[in-house]
Structure 1
Amino acid sequence: MKAYLQLTLSQLRFFVRNRQVLFFTLFMPLFFMIMLGSFLGKGTDVDLSGSLIDQDNSSASAVMVEALLGNSALKLKKTGDLDSSLEELKHGDQKLVVVIPKNYGTAVEQKGADSSKAHLLQVYFDQTNQMSSSIGVQVVGQVADGVSKKLTNYVPIVGIEPVGVQSLDLRYIDFLVPGILAMMIMSNNLNGVAGQIASWRERGVLRRMQSTPLTASTFIAAQITARLILSVIQSLIVLLVGALIFGTQMNGAWWLIFLIIVMGTLTFMSLGFIIAGVAKTPESAGPIAGILSFPLMFLGGVFFPVSSMPEFLQPIVKSIPITQLSTALRQVMNVGAGIGELWPQLGMLAIWLVVCFVISTFTFKWE
C-alpha cells in the first residue's frame, strides 16, 4: 500500500511540474472551449421562429394549434399560405414551418388506427441550419407528444415527420463543453499513457521497477489512480469555467458525470497501454497515438453533431469510444438523462474497456 501511494503521489507531482503536460492536457482544451464559445456559443440562442398552418381546421387541430402557439420555446405565427411560408424558409427568414394536414381530426378520433399519415405533423426545416432544425423538430415533437398523451390517456398516437434528435433549447456552447471534456479525457489518457510508458521503457525506468519488489499490479494501479484523479480535477475545472464564463447547463446528476469520466479514462488508458506496448520507441508512440486521436477528435462528435456527417459514415462513427463518451456526457449535461437512458453508451464503453484491457495485458512489456 505504501508503494502504491508513493507512486500515485509521484505521478501527480510529475503532472503538476511538467508545464508541457499541463498545457496540452488542460490549457489547450480550455483554449478551444473559450475561443469557440466566445465566437459561436455565447449569446447565440437558437432561433425557433416560423409559421403554423392548420389545413384541417377541426376541433382536434385547434387543440394542437393552441399547444404549439403556447409553447414558450417556439415562436410560431399562424398563417394559411404554405407556399409563401416555404419560400421564406428557403430564404432564411424562417426556421420552421409546421403543417397540420387535412383529415388530422379524423385520424385523431380513430386513435391513430388510420394507416395514412394524417396524424403526423409535417415539419419543414432549413437543412443548412442543423442546430435550429434539430432542436425545433424536437420541441414540436414534445408538444405533439403532450397533446397525444392527453387524448389517449398517455398512449401516444400523434407524432411528427421526421423524427427529431434528442435536443433541448440549448446554445452551441452547451453542445461544445461535453465534447471538449471527452476530447480532454481521450488526449490525456491515450496520448499521455502511450508516450510516458514508451519513454520510461526506453530510459530503463520500467526495467529498474521490475527488479524491485514492486509488482506490476501496484504500478498499474498507481497509474490508473493518478490519471483518474487528474481527469476528475481537470473535468471539474472545464465544467467550472464553462458554467462561470458561458453559463453552460448541467441538467443531470453529478455522480453520473463522474461515472462516465471514470469509464472514459479507463477505456482510453487501456488504448494507451496497447500503443505503448506496440510502439518500439517514444518517437513512434507519439505518431501512432496521434494517428488515432486526431481523426477521432473530429469524427467523435466533439465539435459537430454526428447527425451532420454522411449517413454511410454514421454507423462507424457511433461505434468508436469517444462518440459514446461525448454522447453520454451530453445526455446527462444537456438532457438530464438518467442511467436507464445511458445503457447503450455505457455498454459500448464497457465493451471497449474490456477488449482493450485484455489486449493491453498481452502487449504490455517492461523492456
Structure 2
Amino acid sequence: MNAYIQLTLSQLRFFVRNRQVLVFTLFMPLFFMLMLGSFLGKGNDISLDGVIIDQDHSAESSVMVQALQSNSILKLKSSDDLDKSLDQLKNGDQKLVVLIQQNYGHAVGLKGADSTKASFLQVYYDQTNQQSAQIGLQTVGQVADGVSKQLVNFVPTIRVEPIGVQALQLRYIDFLVPGILAMMIMSNNLNGVSGQIASWRERGVLRRMQSTPLKASTFIAAQITARLVMNTAQALIVLLVGALVFGTQVNGSWWLLLLFVVMGTLTFMSIGFIIAGVAKTPESAGPIAGLISFPLMFLGGVFFSVSSMPSFLQPIVKSIPITQLSTAIRQIMNVGAGIGDLWQEGLMLAIWLVVAFVVATFTFKWE
C-alpha cells in the first residue's frame, strides 16, 4: 500500500512540475474552448438543419419534397419516424420538422376548391429560437408558394401550418464544452501514457522498477489513480471556466458525469499502453499516438456534430470511443440524460475498455 501511495504521489508531482504537460493537457483545451466559444459560441446556431416526413407518398408530395430539399437555405433529410424527429427537435438536434400528411395529393388535386383540406404541410419549429423559426417558416412558405404557382397559377392550394415545440436553448458553446472535455481525456491518456511509458522504458526506469519487489499491478494502479485525480481536477476546471465565462451548466447527474470521465480515462489509458508496447522508442510513440488521436479529435464529435458528416462515414465514427464519450458527456450536461438513456454509450465504452485492456496486457513490456 505504501508503494502504491508513493507512486501515485510521485506521478501527480510529475504532472504539476512538468510545464509541457500542463500546457498541452490543460491550457491548450482551455485555449480552444475560449477562442471558439468567443467567436462562435455566444449566439444561437441558426443553421436550418431539419427533417422532412412524407406520409402521403404521392406524386404531388414527391414534388414538394424535391422542392424543399433543393432549397439552398434548408437542409432537410428524409425520415419516416415523426416521434424520433420531434425528440431531436426538442433536444436541439434539428431546427425544423416538415410533415406532409396523408391525403396531401388529394388536397392538391382539388386546386384550392376546398380550403378546409388545403393545410396539409405542417412545420414543427423550435419556438425558443425565434430567429431560426422565422427564417425557416418564411423559407418553407416561399417554397410552398412556388409549388402552388406552378400548379394553379398561384391559387393558395398549399398552406403552411406552423406548430411550435418547446426545445432546449442550446448554443455552440453548449456543444463545444463537452467535446473539449472528451478531447482532453483522450489526449491526456492516449498521448500522455504512450509517450511517458515509452520514455521510461528507454531510460531504464521500468527495468529498475521490475528488479524491485514492486508488482506490476501496483505500478498500473498508481498510474490509473494519478491520472484519474488529474483528469477529474482538469475536468472541473474546464467546467468552471465554461460556467463562469459562457454560462454553461451540467443539467444531469454529476455522479454519472464522473462515471463516464472514469470510463473514458481507463479506455484511453489502455490504448496508450498498447501504443507504448508497440512503439520501440519515445520518438515513434509520439507520431503513432498523434496518428490515432488527431483524426479522432475531428471525427469524434468534438467540434462538429456527427450528424453533419457524410452518411457512409457515420457508422464508423459512431463506433469509436471518443464519439461515445463526447455524446454521453454532452447528453448529461445539456439534456440531463440518465443512465437509462446512455446505456448504449456506456456499453460501447466498456467493450472498448475490456478489449484494449486485454490487448495491452499482451503488448506491455518492461524492457
Same fold (TM over 0.5): yes
Please provide the CA RMSD for this pair: 2.9
| Aligned residue number for residue 141 of structure 1 | none
| Aligned residue number for residue 319 of structure 1 | 319
| Aligned residue number for residue 254 of structure 2 | 254
Query: Are the structure 2 counterparts of residues 32 and 122 from structure 1 closer, same or farther at C-alpha, using a change threshold of 3 Å?
Result: same
Query: Are the structure 2 counterparts of residues 185 and 97 from structure 1 closer, same or farther at C-alpha, using a change threshold of 3 Å?
Result: closer
Paired amino acid for 1:350: A
C-alpha distance in 2 between matches for 1:37 and 1:187: 20
Query: Are the structure 2 counterparts of residues 273 and 250 from structure 1 closer, same or farther at C-alpha, using a change threshold of 3 Å?
Result: same
| Aligned residue number for residue 65 of structure 1 | none
The equivalences for 1:3-82 within 5 A come to 3-42=3-42, 44-47=43-46
Shift of residue 103 of structure 1? 5.6
C-alpha distance in 1 between matches for 2:33 and 2:271: 25
Shift of residue 168 of structure 1? 2.9
C-alpha distance in 1 between matches for 2:319 and 2:73: 37
Query: Are the structure 2 counterparts of residues 10 and 298 from structure 1 closer, same or farther at C-alpha, using a change threshold of 3 Å?
Result: same
What count of residue pairs does the alignment treat as equivalent?
A: 280
| Aligned residue number for residue 203 of structure 1 | 203
| Aligned residue number for residue 217 of structure 2 | 217
TM-score (ref. length: structure 1): 0.71
C-alpha distance in 2 between matches for 1:17 and 1:120: 67
C-alpha distance in 1 between matches for 2:6 and 2:44: 49
Shift of residue 97 of structure 1? 7.9
Q: Which runs of 5+ in 2 are unaligned?
A: 49-63, 75-94, 105-117, 126-131, 138-166
1:62-97 Cα shifts (integer Å, max 9, x gaps):
xxxxxxxxxxxxxxxxxxxx9xx979x8568xx758
Paired amino acid for 1:346: G
C-alpha distance in 1 between matches for 2:96 and 2:258: 37
In structure 1, the residue corresponding to 2:340 is in which secondary structure? helix
| Aligned residue number for residue 265 of structure 2 | 265
C-alpha distance in 1 between matches for 2:205 and 2:216: 13
| Aligned residue number for residue 177 of structure 1 | 177
C-alpha distance in 2 between matches for 1:249 and 1:120: 40
Matched, 1:304 2:304: yes
C-alpha distance in 2 between matches for 1:124 and 1:221: 52
C-alpha contact 1:48 1:96 (8 A) present in aligned 2 = no
Percent of pairs with identical residues = 80
C-alpha distance in 1 between matches for 2:292 and 2:187: 10
C-alpha contact 1:86 1:97 (8 A) present in aligned 2 = no
Shift of residue 249 of structure 1? 2.6
Shift of residue 45 of structure 1? 2.2
Q: Which runs of 5+ in 1 are unaligned?
A: 50-81, 105-117, 126-131, 138-166
In structure 1, the residue corresponding to 2:344 is in which secondary structure? helix
Paired amino acid for 2:230: L
Paired amino acid for 1:210: Q
Paired amino acid for 2:341: E
1:183-225 Cα shifts (integer Å, max 9, x gaps):
0000000000000000000000000000111110000000000
Query: Are the structure 2 counterparts of residues 324 and 121 from structure 1 closer, same or farther at C-alpha, using a change threshold of 3 Å?
Result: farther
Detail structure 1 runs of 4+ shifted over 2 Å in the superposition.
45-49, 89-92, 95-104, 118-125
